[in-house]
Each structure stands twice: as structure tokens, then as C-alpha cells.
């Protein structure tokens, strides 16, 4: 029975009741050791009659073994993996070591766990309890938090319990304080009835409402002390005193039973057979386990053994002297034979080693390389880090730390990667390791700090690398140029370019692309385009790795090759997802969606951005999330979502100014400028767009036509001269039809020339930007109406309206309708007004559109990072709103 927890019990009871009714919920219970977190989970278990319960407990010794805790949590349901979609099943088997190694994809593993739990809940409600969450390994907790953020209609209650340091962002939380005085008195009276009054008061004061302390502290007192002969308590924290109480109980057992408990505490397999074989080294066996059970320190249920409370596990391990703890680890390592236990053996050997040992370090290095084969970069980083700590040779230690840093960076953990890099020796001479270290430090700064500072770090370090290996230095400096571009810093880009030019020529198209980008940032369009084309049009790029392929994809759009940009970025994104390279995923997604928007796919890009921004936030890539939010502001501006545009732009401005994210800031500014232009407020638009400086050259070129149109429509054509000259120069250099068409439109607008409008219209027929073609038709139609050529105007305006409606650009469509009405035409009503999907929530619209395209619930779930049951729930809610009763009717409505 719980005392003083009525409100907390009611809160978790509601969670369980909702699960029984098919709705999912999440709660994070936090508090100090002994405060009652485990007891509250026990209350839930008692209330869960008829509900499937999965219960996992974190073990400190498992914290570096990827997915170890998840394996123990799910082990009773692993037979269900076969019913998952093939890609999810393979990812989960690979993560849990149940099949052939598969590249780790954190998103896919998280989605597989969500699907698996939803399958379990399909038999009725599911209660999933995660106790001592602060000791779950990082990979397991990441997967479960991924699940927690996406639960909806599966009938799952997911409850985490952890200490103060466990604090996942964005999840509902219940903080447990000590129980009140009345409850504490009742609990103490039940657990220790013979205390003298002054001793009772002292225990109450010292326990501070901590329930476990109230139960266990009296057991630390002698009979004389319980009767009143009590010296003042020490100032040891209450949690430590509770652990000492457990240690007293453990020390009352025979030595062999104490040793067996230490083995059980250090074990992370959950396999009683392994525990007993290791315990044989201490002459311990089943009889000693029985003694621990009789002392109520453990519970035994068949082959399953568990400590009564997590603090007992810690007490059992810490009770033993250091030499005995080391012996326990060695004993476990000796019995963990076979390939399936190789990683655990390596980690136990490491835990048994107190001085540098190359043999043990090598075992961990092999574990790291095994993690590499499945792209388990977080596990790889942990293994390399510990291997480095055990490496006697200074140079080799630095190389292993560098490998750990790179793995952490690839895992999408820039802060951890930077910390590892900072621990390496400054005297490192291996050029590859040195280059990796510099890149890792810069990547941390790029993702979480100042992008200009990231470039400066690279330039400083590249000079050292150049003395050892000029080619590796060149590839580093390419990244410095990219930093100058993102930061909108022409001086930084040019400084990097000078270093590149000073190095021996290596003949890589990446170097040409970087020199071109630096020239573009500094306004040298002629040389910029020629050099960037050497990269983008190179006949063979097969030797490029992910960073190089991504850089190439980024260089396509600034020279007008939008389709190529989208295709190349999509390939890199797929590679990142397939191999768990979260460190590069954000930029790949950003590049692909930017290209998709340049091709007119604003609606699809906005939907994807709303889905992916929270996921990128989960990865801790703050600057990447800002860049994507800027794209969302731009997409919303084009689509006529005024509130969405202004909200996203405000979020960008809040972060961009502090961190110097000038490119992201420029994109958000452009979103606001286009919104004002679409709203028919050219003066406001011009004022906003002129905030985009020349330092943002690689992106400002995309918004120069907006600035030109705003200036002309505001009655200030002289303010169009500069952006017009810039855009015409750029378009002539890139030589692609889409750029030529927009350039002709801009000239026609400024020069008030019908022939130029006609040329623009013809050029658009060879281009790949339907939204720009529609804007040209709109402007030409406006010109024709003013010239009293109403019939010709109607043809242009109707075509523009059809495209704007099809692309979801509602404000632009309304401008076209207004112009059509001015010609005497009666345009069709706005499609949005007749769109039956407008009655749906955003999530329901996404699900319905995919279902209408023929996707199954599982396919939809995989695309939207939901469970199939949640997809079914959204369709169930959408059908009545749409006035339909079957999936077959969706296609006619949603197209």
C-alpha cells in the first residue's frame, strides 16, 4: 500500500484507464532515490489486471551496451518481430543482435519498436514500465523516447521512472517529492512500531518524507538506539544511508551469498545460468541464492531473478571491496564465450582492468569495429573511448580517441564528439586522425554554436594537417568554405579559398566547387559558375563519400540545376538513413527540400518539414533545426499560411541572430517578403527583402526576382536596378532555361515590354519551375489587362490560376482570381473552399492523402513515423468528417 500518494496514484490510474480505452499516454516519473518511483510502478502493475505488462529495469553496468536494456524489456515479445515490415524487422534484429548485422538506423529502430509495441497492444492494452531509466543505455532510451513522442491511438501506457538526471525533453512529467508528515508517520509506524518517540521524530526529520528511508533507516539502529540511546545522525545523504541499510542486510549473509549477489548485480544478460556459472568462481550456488531470497533481497520466479529494489543492486555491488568487484567482472568475462557474447566479454574485461592494457584495449577496439559493420556509431564511440583509456601508447590512444570522436559525430552527437576530440593529445601526428579531430570539433560548433567559428577552427587546424598531408588538408578546407557560405561571411570564405589555392593541386572537383562557392559568396559570378560546374557536371563522382556527395548536391541549386540537386540530395539522404549517419542527415534533408521547393513542391515540402523538424530536434542538432524552420517559413509564405510563416520566421530570428546563422535568417526573411508580395503589399515586401545582404549571395539570387517585382509594383523601379543586374548576370552564367525564363520576366516587368513576356513564356516551356511559370503568366496577364487585351489576359490568368491552385499557393491564386474578375471573367471558386480535406486535422490530412494514393496503413506509418494503429485511428476519425464509409472512396475526394 502507498501512503500519501493519492494524487499521484490517480494520475497514473488515468493513464492506464486511457490505455484500456485505446488511447496511448506517456509519463516520466522523476525523483531522488527511494522517493517511491518504483513503488508507484508497482501500484500500476497491481492495477493492470487483464493488461499486458512489459517491465524493464536499468542496470548501471549495461549503460555502454547498445540496445541491451531494450532487449531485456522486449524479450518476451521478440517472437512478434516477424510480423513487422521487412525493413523494420531487419533493423530491430540487427540492433538486438538477433540476426545478421544490419546498418543501425535510429529512426527505423525506433519505428520498429513502436510497431512492435503496437502489435502487443493489439491483443488488449499494454503497460510498458521503464524503471531506473537513467541507467538505460543511450540507444535504448533514444528508441523509447522516439516511441513516446509518437504514441497516439495504440492503447499503450508508457511510464518512465528515473532519478533527477533523467530528463527527456517534451514529455509529460511527474516529480515526486517526499510524502507529507501524516503519511510519513503512518508508514514509519507500520515498518518500525517499537521506536521511542524521540527516535521516531529523529527518523522522520532525517528521512524528509523519503518512503524508502522511513522503511529502511530503523533497521540500521541497534535495539538500544531504537529505545532512545541515539547519537546525532551523520550528514550522509538519505539515499546513501538507505543504501548503507541494504548493505547491512547483505553483510548479514554468508560470504558466498554476498559474492553471488555481486555477480547478479554486475550481470547484464538476465541469464541465471550465466550468473551461476560465474558464481562458481566464488564457490557460490543455488543454496546461496536461496539465502538471499529468504532475506527478501531478491525475488526468484523460475529462471528469472530480480532484486527487490534497484538500490539493493547498487548496494550488492558496492558492498564488495574493489578486488572482489574486479574478480566478479573477470568471472563473468570467462563464462561469456561465443561470438554472441563477444561485446559483453570485452566490456567486462574492461571493467576488470584498472591499468592500461593493450590486450583488453584491442578487444574493445574489435567491439567498436563490429559496431561499425552495423553502423552502430554510438556504440562504436563508447567502445573506442574505453579502448583509448586502456591504451598504454600515447599516440595510439589519441588515434582511438579520434575514432571515438568521429563515430560520435556520425551518430549525430556533436557535443559528445567534441568532448572526445578535446581529450586527444595536441601532439597527434597521424594526418587522418588529426583531420578527423578538426572536422569533429568544427562539426560540433557548426551544429550547436557559431558556423563562422566552425570555419575558423578548420582553417587553423588545416594548416597543421597541410604539413602532413596536403590532400587531406584540402578536403578539410572545402568544409571551411561551406561554413563561410552558411554564416554569410565572405571574408571567411575567401580566406579558406586562399588556403586552397596555396596547396598543391589535387585535381578533385570538390576543390573546384569550393573555390566556386567562395567566389559566389564574394560576388564573383562569372568565375563562381564556371568552377561550380566543374563539380556538378564532373563525369565521375563515384569516389566521393557522403560529405562530398552532399556538398555536390548543395552546389547544384546555386547554378540553377534544381532537379539534379533534389535527386542527388535524395540519394545522400537515403544513404544517411540506411547507415545511421545522423550527423549528415539534417543537411541532406535541408538540401533536398530546398530543391523540392525550387521545383514548386512547397506543399509537400511543408508537410515533410512539419514532420522532420521535431525529429531533428531529437538529434540535438539545433542549428540544423533552425535551418529547416527557415525553409518552413518560406514554404508557408508561398502557400499563403500567414500565421505559419510568421511563427516559423520568429522562431528562426530568435536563434539565428545569437548564433550568426545568416543564411537561415535570409531564408526566413525571404519567406516574409514573399508573403507580403502575395498579399499584395509590395512596399512592405520590398522593405523586408532588402534586408537580405550581398553576403547571402548563394541564396539571395533565388529571391532577387521577388525584390525586383516588389520594387516595380511599389512604384520605385530604380530600386530594382541592382537586383536585376545581379540576377541577369547570374542567369547568363548558369545557362539553364528556368533561369533564362525568370530573367526575361524580370526584364519585361522593368521595361514594360510585351515581347519579353512572350519570350519568357516560351522559355518556361523548357524549364522545371511551374510556380515561376505561373507567376510569369500572372504578371503578363496583369500587363495585358492594363493594355486592354482582355481575351489574351484571360488565357494567361486562367493558366496561372490553375497552377497556383494545383500547387496550393492560395494567396497567389487569389491574386489571379482578382485579375480575372477585373477582365470581366468569372473564375472558379477557390479550390480550398471546396476541398473536403480542409475539415481534417493536419495529421489526418497527411494520412488521408497517402491512403488515397494507395498506401497501406503500414506504409503510411513508416512514412509518418507513426504506428499502424494510429494511422487506422486517424482514418476512422476522418471518414465521418468526409462523409464516406470506405477506403475505396478516398481517391475521388483527396485528389
Q: Are residues 623 and 752 in the same domain?
A: yes
H-helix or E-strand spanning residue 240: helix 238-251
- Classify residue 180 by its DSSP letter: P
Angle, alpha carbons 495-497-498 (nearest 5°): 65
CATH code of residue 608: 1.25.40.10
What is each CA distance from 64 to 60, 162, 328, 516, 768, in whole angstroms?
9, 18, 18, 44, 50
pTM greater than the 0.85 cutoff: no
Q: What is the mean pLDDT of residues 209-225?
A: 83
> Quick one: pLDDT band at residue 542, thresholds 50, 70, 90?
confident
Please report the pLDDT score of residue 833 as a whole number: 42
> Whole-angstrom Cα distance, residue 52 to residue 643?
44
Q: What is the CATH number of the domain that holds 871?
A: 1.10.10.10
Q: What is the pLDDT of residue 230?
A: 63
Q: Give residue 242's pLDDT band: very low, low, confident or very high (50, 70, 90).
A: confident
How many Cα atoms within 13 Å fall on the side-chain side of residue 604? Answer: 15
What integer pLDDT is reported at residue 697 of this predicted model?
63
Residue 100: pLDDT band by 50, 70, 90 thresholds? Answer: low
638 shares a domain with 778: yes
Confidence (pLDDT) at 430: 81
Same domain, 563 and 662: no
Closest to 3 in 3D by CA, of 47, 51, 35 = 35
Confidence of residue 63 (pLDDT cuts 50, 70, 90): confident
Give CA–CA dist 519/387, Å, rounded.
44
Residue 136 has pLDDT above 80, yes or no: yes
Inside any domain, residue 204: yes
User: How far apart, in whole angstroms, are the C-alpha atoms of residue 398 and residue 418?
Assistant: 14
For the stretch 477-487, pLDDT in tens is 999 999 998 88
Mean pLDDT of 741-769: 96
pLDDT at 53 > cutoff 80: yes
Q: Give the per-residue pLDDT at 768.
A: 93
CA–CA separation, 374 and 94 (whole Å): 7
More confident residue, 805 or 413: 805
How sure is the predictor about 338, in pLDDT bands with cuts at 50, 70 and 90? Answer: confident
- Position 582 in a domain: no
Least confident stretch, 103-107, 225-229, 559-563, 813-817: 103-107
**Residue 570 to residues 109, 483, 601, 673, Cα–Cα distance (Å):** 21, 22, 14, 28
Q: Is 587 part of any domain?
A: no
DSSP code at position 720: G
For 614, other C-beta atoms within 10 Å of its C-beta total 13
Asked whether residue 101 falls in the same domain as residue 155, the answer is: yes
Return phi, psi of residue 20, to 5°.
Answer: -65, -30
Q: What is the pLDDT of residue 238?
A: 62
Higher pLDDT, 462 or 41: 41
Mean pLDDT of the region 149-158 = 94
Same domain, 318 and 406: no
Range of the domain at 80: 6-175
Are 539 and 664 part of one and the same domain?
A: no
> Can you give the pLDDT at residue 235?
46
Q: What is the pLDDT of residues 1-30, one digit of tens each?
A: 899 999 999 999 999 999 999 999 999 999
The per-residue pLDDT for 375 is: 62
Domain boundary among 160, 175, 190: 175
Pick 519 or 216 by higher pLDDT.
519
- Domain assignment present for residue 358? The answer is no
Query: Which contacts qualify for 76-85: CB closer than 8 Å, 24 or more apart?
Result: 77/116, 77/119, 77/120, 80/116, 80/119, 80/120, 81/112, 81/116, 83/119, 84/112, 84/115, 84/116, 84/119, 85/115, 85/858, 85/862
Q: Is residue 243 part of a domain?
A: no
Pair (150, 265) in one structural domain: no
Of 792, 808, 832, the position where a domain reaches its end is 832
Neighbours of 45 (CB within 10 A): 15
Q: Which of 779, 786, 742 is nearest to 760 (CA)?
A: 742
- Alpha-carbon span 516 to 836, nearest angstrom: 48
Higher per-residue confidence, 869 vs 829: 869
Rounded average pLDDT over 322-341: 92
Total of domains in the chain: 6
Per-residue 3-state assignment (H helix, E strand, C coil) for 247-266: HHHHHCCCHHHHHHHHHHHH
Same domain, 842 and 821: no
Give the other-Cβ count within 10 Å of 477's Cβ.
30
Q: Is residue 780 part of a domain?
A: yes
Contacts of 794 (CB under 8 A, 6+ apart): 781, 820, 823, 825
pLDDT at 831: 59
The answer to whether residues 471 and 545 belong to one domain is yes
The answer to the question of residue 770 being in a domain is: yes
Residue 242 domain-assigned?
no
Domain end point (choices 571, 586, 618): 571
Percent of the chain with pLDDT strictly greater than 90: 57
Beta carbons of 580 and 142 less than 8 angstroms apart = no
The answer on 448 and 461 residing in a single domain is yes
CATH number, position 170: 3.40.50.300
pLDDT of res. 234: 47
Which pLDDT band holds residue 894 (cuts at 50, 70, 90)? low
CA distance 382 to 371: 10
Same domain, 16 and 84: yes
Whether 60 and 47 map to the same domain: the answer is yes
Amino acid at each position: 500500500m502507498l501512503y500519501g500518494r493519492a494524487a499521484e496514484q490517480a494520475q497514473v490510474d488515468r493513464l492506464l484507464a486511457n490505455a484500456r480505452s485505446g488511447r496511448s499516454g506517456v509519463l516520466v516519473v522523476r525523483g531522488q532515490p527511494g522517493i517511491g518511483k518504483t513503488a508507484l510502478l508497482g501500484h500500476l502493475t497491481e492495477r493492470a489486471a487483464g493488461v499486458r505488462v512489459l517491465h524493464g529495469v536499468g542496470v548501471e553496468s549495461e549503460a555502454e551496451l547498445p540496445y541491451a536494456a531494450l532487449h531485456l524489456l522486449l524479450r518476451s515479445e521478440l517472437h512478434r518481430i516477424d510480423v513487422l515490415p521487412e525493413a523494420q524487422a531487419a533493423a530491430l534484429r540487427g540492433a538486438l543482435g538477433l540476426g545478421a548485422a544490419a546498418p543501425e538506423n535510429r529512426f527505423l529502430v525506433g519505428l520498429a519498436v513502436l510497431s512492435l509495441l503496437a502489435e502487443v497492444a493489439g491483443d488488449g492494452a499494454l503497460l510498458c514500465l521503464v524503471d531506473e531509466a537513467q541507467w538505460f543505455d543511450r540507444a535504448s532510451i533514444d528508441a523509447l523516447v522516439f516511441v513516446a513522442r509518437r504514441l497516439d491511438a495504440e492503447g499503450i501506457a508508457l511510464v518512465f521512472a528515473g532519478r533527477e538526471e533523467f530528463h527527456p525533453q517534451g514529455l509529460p512529467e511527474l516529480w515526486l517529492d517526499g510524502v507529507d508528515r501524516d503519511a510519513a508517520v503512518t508508514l514509519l509506524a507500520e515498518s518500525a512500531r517499537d521506536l521511542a518517540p524521540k527516535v521516531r521524530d529523529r527518523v522522520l526529520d532525517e528521512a524528509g518524507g523519503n518512503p524508502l528511508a522511513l522503511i529502511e533507516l530503523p533497521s540500521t539502529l541497534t535495539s538500544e538506539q531504537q529505545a532512545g540511546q541515539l547519537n546525532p545522525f551523520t550528514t550522509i545523504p538519505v539515499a546513501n544511508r538507505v543504501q548503507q541499510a541494504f548493505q547491512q542486510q547483505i553483510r548479514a549473509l554468508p560470504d558466498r551469498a554476498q559474492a553471488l549477489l555481486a555477480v547478479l548485480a554486475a550481470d547484464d544478460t538476465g541469464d541465471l545460468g550465466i550468473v551461476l556459472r560465474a558464481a562458481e568462481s566464488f564457490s557460490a550456488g543455488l543454496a546461496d541464492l536461496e539465502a538471499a531470497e529468504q532475506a527478501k533481497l531478491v525475488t526468484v520466479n523460475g529462471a528469472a531473478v530480480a532484486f527487490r529494489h534497484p538500490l539493493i543492486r547498487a548496494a550488492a555491488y558496492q558492498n564488495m571491496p574493489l578486488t572482489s568487484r574486479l574478480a566478479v567482472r573477470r568471472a563473468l568475462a570467462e563464462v561469456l564465450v561465443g561470438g554472441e557474447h563477444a561485446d559483453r566479454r570485452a566490456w567486462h574485461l574492461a571493467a576488470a582492468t584498472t591499468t592500461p592494457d593493450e590486450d583488453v584495449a584491442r578487444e574493445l577496439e574489435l567491439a567498436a569495429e563490429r559496431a561499425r559493420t552495423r553502423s552502430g556509431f554510438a556504440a562504436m564511440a563508447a567502445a573506442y573511448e574505453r579502448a583509448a583509456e586502456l591504451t598504454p601508447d600515447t599516440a595510439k590512444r589519441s588515434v582511438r580517441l579520434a575514432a571515438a570522436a568521429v563515430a560520435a559525430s556520425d551518430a549525430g552527437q556533436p557535443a559528445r564528439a567534441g568532448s572526445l576530440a578535446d581529450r586527444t593529445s595536441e601532439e597527434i601526428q597521424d594526418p587522418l586522425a588529426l583531420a578527423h579531430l578538426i572536422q569533429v570539433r568544427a562539426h560540433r560548433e557548426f551544429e550547436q554554436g557559431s558556423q563562422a567559428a566552425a570555419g575558423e577552427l578548420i582553417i587553423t587546424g588545416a594548416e597543421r594537417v597541410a604539413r602532413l598531408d596536403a590532400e587531406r588538408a584540402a578536403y578539410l578546407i572545402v568544409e571551411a568554405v561551406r561554413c563561410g557560405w552558411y554564416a554569410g561571411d565572405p571574408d571567411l570564405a575567401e580566406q579558406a579559398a586562399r588556403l586552397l589555392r596555396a596547396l598543391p593541386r589535387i585535381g578533385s572537383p570538390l576543390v573546384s566547387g569550393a573555390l566556386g562557392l567562395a567566389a559566389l559568396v564574394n560576388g564573383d559570378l562569372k568565375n563562381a559558375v564556371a568552377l561550380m560546374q566543374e563539380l556538378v557536371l564532373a563525369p565521375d563522382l563515384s569516389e566521393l563519400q557522403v560529405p562530398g556527395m552532399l556538398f555536390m548536391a548543395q552546389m547544384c541549386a546555386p547554378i540553377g540545376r534544381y532537379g539534379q540537386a533534389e535527386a542527388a540530395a535524395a540519394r545522400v539522404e537515403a544513404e544517411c538513413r540506411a547507415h545511421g549517419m545522423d550527423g549528415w542527415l539534417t543537411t541532406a534533408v535541408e538540401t533536398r527540400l530546398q530543391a523540392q521547393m525550387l521545383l514548386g513542391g512547397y506543399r509537400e515540402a511543408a508537410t515533410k518539414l512539419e514532420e522532420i523538424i521535431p525529429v531533428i530536434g531529437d538529434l540535438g542538432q539545433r542549428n540544423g533545426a533552425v535551418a529547416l524552420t527557415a525553409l518552413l517559413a518560406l514554404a508557408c509564405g508561398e502557400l499563403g499560411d500567414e500565421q505559419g510563416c510568421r511563427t516559423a520566421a520568429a522562431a528562426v530570428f530568435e536563434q539565428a541572430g545569437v548564433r550568426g546563422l545568416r543564411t537561415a535568417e535570409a531564408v526566413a526573411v525571404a519567406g516574409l517578403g514573399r508573403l507580403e508580395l502575395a498579399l499584395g503589399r509590395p512596399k512592405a515586401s520590398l522593405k523586408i527583402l532588402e534586408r537580405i545582404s550581398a553576403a547571402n549571395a548563394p541564396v539571395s539570387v533565388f529571391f532577387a526576382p521577388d525584390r525586383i517585382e516588389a520594387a516595380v509594383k511599389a512604384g520605385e523601379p530604380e530600386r530594382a536596378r541592382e537586383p536585376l543586374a545581379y540576377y541577369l548576370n547570374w542567369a547568363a552564367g548558369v545557362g539553364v532555361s528556368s533561369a533564362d525564363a525568370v530573367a526575361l520576366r524580370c526584364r519585361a516587368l522593368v521595361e514594360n515590354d510585351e515581347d519579353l513576356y512572350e519570350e519568357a513564356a516560351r522559355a518556361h516551356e523548357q524549364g522545371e519551375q511551374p510556380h515561376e511559370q505561373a507567376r510569369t503568366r500572372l504578371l503578363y496577364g496583369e500587363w495585358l489587362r492594363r493594355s486592354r487585351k482582355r481575351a489574351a489576359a484571360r488565357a494567361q490568368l486562367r493558366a496561372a490560376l490553375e497552377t497556383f491552385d494545383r500547387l496550393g499557393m492560395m494567396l497567389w491564386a487569389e491574386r489571379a482570381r482578382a485579375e480575372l474578375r477585373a477582365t470581366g471573367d468569372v473564375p472558379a471558386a477557390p479550390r480550398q473552399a471546396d476541398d473536403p480535406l480542409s475539415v481534417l486535422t493536419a495529421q489526418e490530412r497527411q494520412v488521408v492523402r497517402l491512403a488515397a494514393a494507395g498506401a497501406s496503413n503500414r506504409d503510411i506509418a513508416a512514412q509518418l513515423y507513426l504506428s499502424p494503429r494510429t494511422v487506422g485511428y486517424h482514418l476512422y476519425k476522418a471518414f465521418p468528417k468526409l462523409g464516406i464509409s470506405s477506403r475505396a472512396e478516398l481517391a475521388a475526394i483527396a485528389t
